[in-house]
Amino acid sequence: MGVLEGKVAFVTGAARGQGRSHAVRLAQEGADIIAVDACATPAWLSYPLATEADLAETVREVEALGRRIVARKADIRDLTAIEAVLGEGVAELGGRLDIVAANAAIISWPRDTWAIDAAEFRELIDVTLTGTFITVKAAVPLMIAAGNGGSVTLTSSGAAITAGKGLGDYKAAKNGVLALKDTLACELAEYFIRVNAVCPTAVDTPMIHNESLHRAFRPDLANPGRDDVRDGFAQMNLLPIPWVDPVDVSNAIVWLASDAARYVTGITLPVDAGNHLKC
């Protein structure tokens, strides 16, 4: 029997990468899943986001585990859409919501902060910070109403807790996520809803494995691939690895959602191969 038997979990950005892994790991532990993904890419972004086919694959993998899933194409910036999905999912999955994995986000690319286009800065903050706020704004009233307590995990980033040049937009958004986590942990403790954050180092997903980020790491090469950026990524970590796997972050989320972490709230959990001590 899994450690999350009978629970219902809401995962954003669930079509691929860490979000899909979270949905599958939570389902392996017995949770039913409500999943959303925008399945659409902002025009200026330097890498493609997930597709509806990706979201369908997440559905297939969760159902293959014998768990139920309500999955919808929805943008985390759209409060009406997120409330509708959650309403539908909670009604279909037994009237409860226990776990939130606020995972969806976008990243830009390393450039000096003053060189970031203002409209692109606004959209990154809108998705990565405001979208995380919308996620909890829609989910928390349902958790309070269900009266079962619960676990909310916000995905921040190692980039938020280490210093360095570039990605000022992303770091600002992910530090905002940590501020939301602290505030929500204080506000929701009386309902036994625990609120924590994970800060991964680089994770082996399309967010880092795309042409634009590979080129940023290896401007000396015409067509750098994942093997060409291995050493550069490994330099960020204490442990001699370039990146962690999505399941490493999912395992942290499962633990935080489980009774094993029943008195853990308000923490910032690095899943980072020691990256926070490196800089």
Ligand X SMILES: NC(=O)c1ccc[n+]([C@@H]2O[C@H](COP(=O)([O-])OP(=O)(O)OC[C@H]3O[C@@H](n4cnc5c(N)ncnc54)[C@H](O)[C@@H]3O)[C@@H](O)[C@H]2O)c1
Nearer to ligand X, 196 or 205 (CB): 205
What number of other Cβ atoms are within 10 A of residue 187's Cβ?
12
Q: Tokens 């014998």 sit at which residue?
A: 66
Site residues for ligand X, 40-69, by CB under 6 A, read 49-50
The answer to whether 108 and 167 are in contact (CB under 8 A) is yes
> At its nearest, how many Å lie between ligand X and the CB of residue 210?
9
Nearest-approach distance from CB 263 to ligand X, in angstroms = 26
Instruction: Please tell me whether residue 250 binds ligand X under the rule CB under 6 A.
Output: no
Q: Examine residue 230 and tell whether it contacts ligand X (CB under 6 A).
A: no
From 94, 19, 6, 81, select the one nearest 50 (Cα to Cα).
19
**What residue spans of the chain are helical by DSSP H?**
17-28, 52-64, 79-92, 118-125, 131-146, 158-161, 168-188, 211-217, 226-234, 246-257
Using CB under 6 A, pick the residue from 205, 237, 265, 275 that binds ligand X.
205
**Residue nearest ligand X (C-beta atom):** 17
For the segment 89-148, give every residue that binds ligand X (CB under 6 A).
103-107, 127, 131
Q: Is residue 191 among the annotated active site residues? A: no
Choice from 8, 18, 58, 237 touching ligand X (CB under 6 A): 18
Residue 17 engages ligand X in binding (rule: CB under 6 A)? yes
By CB under 6 A, is residue 23 in contact with ligand X? no
d(C-alpha 146, C-alpha 183), whole Å: 21
DSSP, collapsed to helix, strand or coil, labels residue 261 as helix
Give how far Cα 125 sits from Cα of 46, 72, 185, 195, 257, Å: 16, 23, 22, 21, 27
- Using CB under 6 A as the binding criterion, the count of chain residues that bind ligand X stands at 32
Under the binding rule (CB under 6 A), the answer on residue 75 touching ligand X is: yes
Contact between 155 and ligand X (CB under 6 A)? yes
Burial class (CB in 10 A: 0-12, 13-18, 19+), 259: exposed
Footprint of ligand X (CB under 6 A): 12-13, 15-19, 36-38, 49-50, 75-77, 103-107, 127, 131, 155, 157-158, 200, 202-203, 205-208
Give catalytic residue positions. 170
